[in-house]
Amino acid sequence: MKKATDVFGQWAEIGKDLGMEEGHSKPVDEMLKYAIKKIDKNFSFLDVGCGNGWVVRKVSSSALCSKAVGIDGASQMIENAKSRGSEEYINTDIDLYEPKDKFDLIHSMEVLYYLQDPASTLEKIYQSWLKPNGRLIVGIDLYHENVDSHDWEEKVGTPMLMLRESEWIDLFKKAGFQEIESWRANQSDEWAGTLVLTGKKLGY
C-alpha cells in the first residue's frame, strides 16, 4: 500500500486535485457557513490537509478572516497551492506540525481517516492548535454507515481507517472537545452524505 501523501502527490501532478475541489465544494461550503456563523467575529483559520489551497483561498476572501493558513503532507499539493494564491502554505507532516500561533477555526476535509493515529491528532489540535473558544470542523466521506465507501481503501491502494459515526464522536470527546455536533452534509437519495463533526474548545 502507498502512503496517502504519495497518492495525493501523484493526483496533484496529473490535475486530479481539481476534481477533489469540485466534488467537495458543496459539503465544505455548508461546513464553513456553519462554523463562521458560530464564531461571528474576526478569526484566524487553518486548513489541515489543504490540497491545492482551494478552501484557504475561499475562507481568506471572507471579511472576517484575519489570517488563513494551509498545511499538507504532499509537496506537489503545496506547490499547486502556492502557484494559485499568496496565502500561507506549509508542506509538513500533519503529525509533526507545531504552529507559531493558535487558531480560532480549524477545518479538515477528507483527511483524518488517512492518519495513523487520529485520536492523538485530535488531542494535539485541541491542546496546541486551537485558541480558547476555538472550533474544529471536519468532513469525512469514508465511514461505516456510508456503504459506498467500504471498498475505497482497496481501490485507492492506501490505508484508511473505517469508523462508525459514534466512534468519531467518542474520539472528539476523549480529545476534550465540548458542544460536539454531527450531521450529514450534501445528502441525497444516491449519496449517504459527508459526515460532519464539529466541537469547541471552551475557555478564555
pLDDT for residue 194: 97
Give the mean pLDDT of 176-188: 98
* Cell (9 digits) for 182: 454531527
When pLDDT is cut at 50, 70 and 90, the band that residue 13 belongs to is low
pLDDT for residue 9: 52
Is the separation of the CB atoms in 80 and 54 below 8 Å?
no
Question: Which residues, 6+ apart, have CB-to-CB distance to 76 below 8 Å?
Answer: 8, 9, 10, 12, 13
Q: Which domain holds residue 78?
A: 4-200
pLDDT for residue 12: 47
Question: What is the CATH number for 105?
Answer: 3.40.50.150
What's the total number of domains in the chain?
1
Q: What is the mean pLDDT of the chain?
A: 92
Neighbour-count burial of 192, counting CB atoms closer than 10 A to its CB (0-12 exposed, 13-18 middle, 19+ buried): middle
